[in-house]
């Protein structure tokens, strides 16, 4: 099971710079490793376009592609969670994808929401 949502601030306020967002997420999820992706990896679009219709449908529903490049991607293997956001001075949202059901992850997110004032929203 994959759950996709976004983190944002109420009333569309920015979350901060890329460095601020990385610091906040790294404090909440200590094992997360972020990397800067300058441009879309070669072949990603071609692979998606050549896939059967049902695969493109699943991709569009569960793995949206609306974060521009350059972007930061961070993975927390301990909590089966991936974070993606644009590399920017004014980050407005973070896309989050979670795999599986993890009660410890839910508790971490609740604590994170309380500490930061960031809110979850549907993607």
The pLDDT assigned to 50 comes to: 79
Beta sheet of 33-37, edge-to-edge order: 33-37, 71-76, 81-86, 94-99, 2-8, 119-122
Average pLDDT value for residue range 28-47: 82
d(CA 49, CA 5): 24
- Residue 67: pLDDT band by 50, 70, 90 thresholds? confident
Comparison of pLDDT for 74 and 103, the residue scoring more: 74
pTM: 0.79
The pLDDT assigned to 4 comes to: 85
DSSP 12: G
70 preceded by cis ω (within 30°)? yes
């Amino acid at each position: 099971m994959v759950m996709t949502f976004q983190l944002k601030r109420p009333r569309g306020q920015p979350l901060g710079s890329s460095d601020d967002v990385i610091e906040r997420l790294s404090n909440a999820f200590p094992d997360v490793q972020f990397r800067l992706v300058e441009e879309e990896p070669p072949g990603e679009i071609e692979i998606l376009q050549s896939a059967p219709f049902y695969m493109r449908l699943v991709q569009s529903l569960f793995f949206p592609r609306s974060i521009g490049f350059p972007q930061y991607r961070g993975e927390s293997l301990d909590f089966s969670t991936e974070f993606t956001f644009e590399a920017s001075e004014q980050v407005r949202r973070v896309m989050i994808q979670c795999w599986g059901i993890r009660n410890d992850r839910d508790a971490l997110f609740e604590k994170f929401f309380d500490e930061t004032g960031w809110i979850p929203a549907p993607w």
